[in-house]
Amino acid sequence: MDYVPHTPEDQKEMLKAIGVEDLEALFADIPAKYRLGRLLDLPAPLAEQEIWEHMSSLAARNRLPGATLTGAGAYRHYIPAVVSHVVGRSEFYTAYTPYQAEISQGILQAIYEYQTMIARLTGTQVANASMYDGATAMAEAAVLSAKSLGRSRLLVARSVHPEYRKVIGTYAWANGYACAEIPFGATGQIERDALRGLLDDRTAAVLVQSPNFFGVIEDIGPLADLAHRRGALLVAGFTDPTSLGILKAPGDSGADFVVGEGQGFGNPLHYGGPYLGILASTEAFMRKIPGRLVGATVDREGRRGYVLTLQTREQHIRREKATSNICSNEALCMLAAAVYLASLGKNLKRLAALNVWKANYLKEALAALPGWTPLFTGPVYNEFAMSCPDAKEANRRLERAGFIGGYDLSKDYPELGGGILLCATEMLRREDMDKAVALLT
């Protein structure tokens, strides 16, 4: 199946208009020795029905779980039908970046509304139209901090998602920045004294996550104060955006940048992508933050309208002086998030509360099992870390029953002496939690 409309007659007519004999002649600039004399070695083409059959059977080779007990950066939340409906409109999904504003007012207004919603949720003044994912959003905020301050040291909390720390490490290596780790304590939160000791005049940014990888909620205010006292910036990250439904906005606690993963707002798990990087900041960084920004303005007849603005921050104008190279983003995922937030509205609070109650229920049920204790004493959102007799065996039992178990902490946090990270969202039914506990007894 292919999508070229031309018949041989069409092609003949067009070749005649161009004045060449055949299609070969149009490739004359390619030296003959480089022209493939053969067809590529790929499977034979398929008719649409065959495509459907092949792809269905490939998808069926996957196994969908009865319940998912892992979060760790990607969350199974219920997606209202209205979200899929809106992002399925082909005026949205087949559209290009809205550089031609007059015919793109639809998405431009939607982005402006999204920017507003995110700024309100995060307690900031500027939110961009998306980054690739939470990890790169955090890494780019780190790079921007370093470039803005002319400093080259980054302090990254060990309780930030391990993959996020690796990505920050890769971006730091590329730019020649040094990274040091901030430890966590018995509560699971950052050790403030340790942070105070680590801060120095070379530090550009302190990067923290709340709720952190262990699900523990940080008190951002004091962390921001410590950073600011040494002239450093505070980057507050998150991996489950629904947490913003009940938690204090990081911007209100003094964070300079709020970054995170927006997948939990209306985007499927999708085996890891595409996801949605959220990046928001104080007004001070409005002319420096990466990514696209939509601004309100008026047209020649005074009508309100929206345009991509402050484009001089971006690579197509600043080129090698740009602080980021980002061009394409995750616009459609952002649209899903916007519709999700519009649909839930203030019910986001109850959604978030339900997550807390479910996780609390599971945690208490597991804590009653011999050998199972919470690893940390700090307050949690919808994830929690437990020490248990044998995390691998626990997951084996859960998987045999068709569940996706918890995240085994031994590889990333060997110092915890064996532990498991579990997540309960609003989609985890009580009967599944009871079943899980029974399997682990």
Partner 1 sequence: MELIFEKSRPGRTAGTIPASDVPETPLETLIGPDLLRDALNLPELAEVDIVRHYTRLARRNFGVDVGFYPLGSCTMKYNPKVNERVAALDGFTDLHPYAPEAFAQGNLQLLYELAGYLSEICGMADFTLQPAAGAHGELTGVMIIKKHFERKGQRRATILIPDTAHGTNPASVALCGFQVMTVRSDAEGGIDIRHLRELMTRDVAGLMLTNPNTLGLFERNIEEVAAIVHRKGGLLYCDGANANALVGVTRPGDLGFDIIQLNLHKTFSTPHGCGGPGSGPVGVKRHLVPFLPVPRVVKRGKRYRWSEDFPHSIGRVRAFYGNFNVLVKAYTYIRSLGAAGIRRVSENAVLNANYIKERLRGHYQLAYDRVCMHECVFTGERQLQESGVHTTDIAKRLLDYGFHPPTIYFPLIVREAIMIEPTETESKETLDQFCEAMISIAREARENPELVRSAPLTTPVRRLDDVLAARKPDVCWTLC
Partner 2 sequence: MAKPSPQDRKYTKEHEWAKADGAGTVTMGITDHAQELLTDVVYVELPAVGRKVRQQEPIAVVESVKSVSDVYAPVSGEVIEVNQALEASPELVNKDAFGAGWIARIRMEAPAELDGLMTADQYEEHIKASPH
Binding site for partner 2 (CB under 8 A): 287, 311-312, 317-318, 321
Instruction: Quote the least distance from Cβ 422 to partner 1, whole Å.
Output: 12
Which DSSP category does 370 fall into? T
Number of CB atoms found within 10 A of residue 402's CB: 12
What does 1 interact with, of partner 2, partner 1, none (CB < 5 to 8 A by kind)? partner 1
Instruction: Quote the least distance from Cβ 173 to partner 1, whole Å.
Output: 8
- Among 66, 193, 229, 357, which residue interacts with partner 1 (rule: CB under 8 A)? 357
Which is nearer to partner 1, 167 or 205 (by Cβ)? 167
Rule CB under 8 A: which of 176-205 touch partner 1?
Answer: 176
Cis peptide before 5 (omega within 30 of 0): no
Cis peptide before 211 (omega within 30 of 0): yes
- Among 183, 185, 231, 274, which residue interacts with partner 1 (rule: CB under 8 A)? 274
Amino acid at 227: A
Could you tell me which stretch among 83-91, 198-206, 226-234, 386-394 binds partner 1 (CB under 8 A)? 83-91
Plot region of 417 (φ>0 → left; ψ -120 to 50 → alpha; else → beta): left
Rule CB under 8 A: which of 277-306 touch partner 1?
Answer: 286, 292-301, 303, 305-306
Cis peptide before 43 (omega within 30 of 0): no
What does 134 interact with, of partner 1, partner 2, none (CB < 5 to 8 A by kind)? partner 1
Which is nearer to partner 1, 149 or 246 (by Cβ)? 246
Residue span 12-41 as binding mask against partner 1, x where in contact by CB under 8 A, dash where not: -xxx-xxxx--x-xxxxxxx--xxx--xxx
Instruction: Quote the least distance from Cβ 259 to partner 2, whole Å.
Output: 24
Instruction: Quote the least distance from Cβ 381 to partner 1, whole Å.
Output: 8
Which is nearer to partner 2, 230 or 318 (by Cβ)? 318
| SS3 category, 374 | strand
Give the residue among 433, 437, 439, 430 at the shortest CA–CA distance from 367.
437
Strand partners, 126: 281
Catalogue the long-range contacts made by 84-88 (C-beta closer than 8 Å, 24 or more residues apart). Answer: 86/335, 86/336, 86/339, 87/332, 87/335, 87/336, 87/339
Instruction: Calculate the alpha carbon distances from 64 to 61, 143, 147, 165, 272 in Å.
Output: 10, 38, 44, 29, 15
Helices 331-344 and 105-122, axial angle in degrees (round to 10): 60
Q: What tokens does 46 get?
A: 């398929």
Could you tell me which stretch among 194-202, 351-359, 368-376, 386-394 binds partner 1 (CB under 8 A)? 351-359
Rule CB under 8 A: which of 207-236 touch partner 1?
Answer: 217, 219
Which is nearer to partner 2, 45 or 150 (by Cβ)? 150
Residue 62 contacts partner 1 per CB under 8 A? yes
What does 248 interact with, of partner 2, partner 1, none (CB < 5 to 8 A by kind)? partner 1
Q: How far apart are CA 239 and CA 174, in angstroms?
A: 24
Q: How far apart are CA 42 and CA 50, in angstroms?
A: 16
- Among 240, 256, 261, 383, which residue interacts with partner 1 (rule: CB under 8 A)? 261
Amino acid at 178: A
Residue 82 contacts partner 1 per CB under 8 A? yes
Instruction: Quote the least distance from Cβ 317 to partner 2, whole Å.
Output: 6
CA atoms within 13 A on the CB side of 227: 28
- Among 194, 332, 416, 437, which residue interacts with partner 1 (rule: CB under 8 A)? 332
What's phi and psi for 54, nearest 5 deg? -65, -45
Q: Check: CB of residue 75 under 8 Å from CB of residue 428.
A: no
Which is nearer to partner 2, 93 or 99 (by Cβ)? 99
Rule CB under 8 A: which of 396-425 touch partner 1?
Answer: 399, 404-405, 407
Instruction: Quote the least distance from Cβ 267 to partner 1, whole Å.
Output: 9
Q: How far apart are CA 270 and CA 13, in angstroms?
A: 45
- Among 8, 58, 150, 415, which residue interacts with partner 1 (rule: CB under 8 A)? 58
Instruction: Quote the least distance from Cβ 226 to partner 2, whole Å.
Output: 25
Residue 77 contacts partner 1 per CB under 8 A? no
Which is nearer to partner 2, 25 or 317 (by Cβ)? 317
The bridge status of strand 420-423 relative to strand 277-281 is unpaired
Which is nearer to partner 1, 46 or 178 (by Cβ)? 46
Rule CB under 8 A: which of 118-137 touch partner 1?
Answer: 119-121, 125-127, 129-130, 132-136
Q: How far apart are CA 427 and CA 437, in angstroms?
A: 17
- Give the sign of the dihedral formed by CA 65, CA 66, CA 71, CA 76: positive
Which is nearer to partner 2, 80 or 295 (by Cβ)? 295
